[in-house]
Amino acid sequence: MIILSVNAGSSSLKFTGFEMPSEDVLISGVFERIGIDNSFYTIKLNGEKIRKEVELANHSVAVGFLTKELLENNIVESLDEIKGVGHRIVQGADKFDKTVVIDERVLETISDLSPLAPLHNPAAVVGIKAFREFMPNATHTAVFDTAFHQTMPEEAYLYALPYEWYTDYAVRRYGAHGTSHKFVSIRAAEILGNKDSKIVVCHLGNGGSLSAVLNGKCIDTSMGFTPNAGVVMGSRCGDIDASILPYIMKVTGMTPDEVDTAINKKSGLLGISGVSSDSRDVEMGAEEGNKRCILAQKLYARRVIEYIAKYYCILGGIDMICFTAGIGENSCATRKSIIDGLKVYGIKLDEEANKTRGEEIMISTKDSTIPCYVIPTNEELMIARDTYNLSMDK
C-alpha cells in the first residue's frame, strides 16, 4: 500500500511516498516558492536528486506536477494505488487528541483554528483541498503537531491567568513537535523493552521543545500557547518574564507586531550571539573565542538542563533521555554541555560515542544511571504509520 506524507506551507509543499507496511521510501521532495516568481521543485528518487524549474501558481498546480512524477517514474500506474495521504497540521488545539480521517467537519475545524496558527493552518487547508482534488479515493488524514500533548493534565497545560482567558479565548499550553515526540518516545520504549517507562524527549532544532512522557503519554511539554515558549531556540527567546514586553513597548515605542517579530525572529541564539540563529555558526564562533557565542551556548544548554531536571521530578525519575532533530542529532558540543550539566543525577557521557552524528546511538556510559540516546526523528514516517492504520480501518 502506498501512503503519502505531506506538509503544506504557505509557499511550499514537502512530500514523502512510502510503501507500507514495509516503510520503504519510494520518493520524496519539496515544491518551493509556490505562488512566487522563480518557483521550482526537487525530487529524490533512487538516491538521486533532481531539480526542475517550473511555474507553480498555486498548490493545486504543485500537486499536479507531483502526480505527474509519480506516474512517469512508475511509482504508481494509477493514482488509485495511493491509498492514503497524511497531512501535517500544526494546530489542532484541544479539538483533536489523535490523527483523524478528514471529513468536512474536520476540515472546517482546522480552518476555524487558524487564528492560533495563522501561518500554518490556512496553508494546510489549501494543501488538503488540492490533494483531495487529485486523489479523491484515498483516505486523507490530519496529523496534528498538538495531538500528542493533549494527555497533559490541567495543572500542566493551564496558565495562572484569569480563567476566562482559557474558557473564552482558548489561552493554554498546546505544545508543538508532537509527531516527533511521539515517534521518538515510541522508539525509546522499544529500546528499553518497556512501554511503561519514563522518557524525556529533547527535540532540539532551530525550534526546540522537550516533553515528559509517562507510559507512552505526554504529561508535560516545554512549548506553550505558541512555539515561542520553553527553551532557547534559533531566533525565539523561549521563556521570559511577560512584563518585559509592555516595558519595552513603552520605552522604545515598538508596536505589538514589532515586539512579536523581535521575540520570534531576532532573539534566541541569534539575539545573544549576534552572529547567527544557526547553532553551527554559533559553535564555530565559540570555538574561535567569541564571548557572545560562548554565552549563547551556555544559556542554551542551561535552559535544556533546567527542563530535564524539572521533568525528573514530575516523572518521578527518568528511564531514558533522548536527543533528536537537527541540533540534538548532530551537535556533539551541545549534547556534551547538557549531559555534563546533569552529572548530579549520575549521568555520564561516553565521549567517543558522542562524536557520532545523525545516527541512533547510546551516548552515555554503561554505568550511567540514566541512558542517553540519540534517536533520529522521522515525522514523515510517523504520519505514514498513522495514515496507514486509519486506511486499513476503512
**pLDDT per residue as tens digits for the range 310-319:** 999 999 999 9
What letter represents residue 284's amino acid? Answer: M
Confidence of residue 10 (pLDDT cuts 50, 70, 90): confident
Q: Report the alpha-carbon angle 351-356-358, nearest 5.
A: 145
340 counts as catalytic: no
Counting beta carbons within 10 angstroms of the beta carbon of residue 40, is it exposed (0 to 12), middle (13 to 18) or buried (19 or more)? middle
For residue 41, give every residue at least 6 positions away whose Cβ sits within 8 Å of its Cβ, in sequence order, or none. Answer: 29, 30, 31, 32, 51, 52, 54, 56, 62, 65, 66
Taking the C-alpha atoms of residue 44 and residue 362, their distance in angstroms, rounded to an integer, is 30
Say what the pLDDT of residue 229 is: 93
Q: For residue range 270-306, what is the model confidence (pLDDT) as tens digits?
A: 999 999 999 999 999 999 999 999 999 999 999 999 9
Q: How far is CA 297 from CA 40, 157, 170, 231, 234, in A?
A: 36, 28, 34, 12, 11
For residue 206, give every residue at least 6 positions away whose Cβ sits within 8 Å of its Cβ, in sequence order, or none. Answer: 233, 234, 235, 277, 278, 279, 326, 327
For the residues 172-197, what does the mean pLDDT come to? 94
Residue identified by cell 525528573 is 312
Say what the pLDDT of residue 294 is: 96
- The single-letter DSSP state of residue 32 is E
Q: Which of the following is catalytic: 24, 37, 145, 241? A: 145
HSE-up of residue 352 (Cα within 13 Å, Cβ side): 2
Burial letters 62-71, b for 16+ CB under 10 A, else e: bbebbbebbe
Share of the chain above pLDDT 90, in %: 83
Say what the pLDDT of residue 392 is: 81
Kindly write down the DSSP assignment for every residue of 66-95, as one continuous string: HHHHHHHTTS-SSGGGEEEEEEEES--TTT
Element (DSSP H or E) covering residue 315: helix 291-315
C-alpha cell at 178: 508532537
What letter represents residue 351's amino acid? Answer: E
- Helix, coil or strand: residue 99: coil
Find, among 48, 42, 32, 33, the residue nearest to 69 by Cα: 42
More confident residue, 394 or 374: 374
Taking the C-alpha atoms of residue 11 and residue 33, their distance in angstroms, rounded to an integer, is 5
Q: For residue range 229-258, what is the model confidence (pLDDT) as tens digits?
A: 999 999 999 999 999 999 999 999 999 999
Find, among 114, 190, 181, the residue nearest to 146 by Cα: 181
- pLDDT of 13 strictly over 70: yes
The residues with which 136 forms a beta bridge, in sequence order, are none
Taking the C-alpha atoms of residue 319 and residue 358, their distance in angstroms, rounded to an integer, is 22
Say what the pLDDT of residue 25 is: 94
Instruction: Give the Cβ contact number of residue 355 at 10 Å.
Output: 11
Taking all residues of the chain, what is their mean pLDDT, rounded to a whole number? 93
Find, among 84, 85, 90, 139, the residue nearest to 113 by Cα: 90
Question: Torsion angle of alpha carbons 195, 200, 203, 209, nearest 10°?
Answer: 120
C-alpha cell at 292: 557572545
More confident residue, 345 or 58: 345
Cβ atoms of 139 and 80 within 8 Å: the answer is no
Say what the pLDDT of residue 247 is: 97
Say what the pLDDT of residue 196 is: 92
Confidence of residue 394 (pLDDT cuts 50, 70, 90): low
Q: For residue range 137-171, what is the model confidence (pLDDT) as tens digits?
A: 999 999 999 999 999 999 999 999 999 999 999 99
Q: For residue range 82-121, what is the model confidence (pLDDT) as tens digits?
A: 999 999 998 999 999 999 999 999 999 999 998 888 878 8
Say what the pLDDT of residue 9 is: 80
Taking the C-alpha atoms of residue 236 and residue 228, their distance in angstroms, rounded to an integer, is 6
For the residues 204-223, what does the mean pLDDT come to? 95
Instruction: Give the Cβ contact number of residue 316 at 10 Å.
Output: 8
For residue 323, give every residue at least 6 positions away whose Cβ sits within 8 Å of its Cβ, in sequence order, or none. Answer: 202, 204, 329, 335, 338, 363, 372, 373, 374, 375
Phi and psi, residue 183, nearest 5°? -60, -50
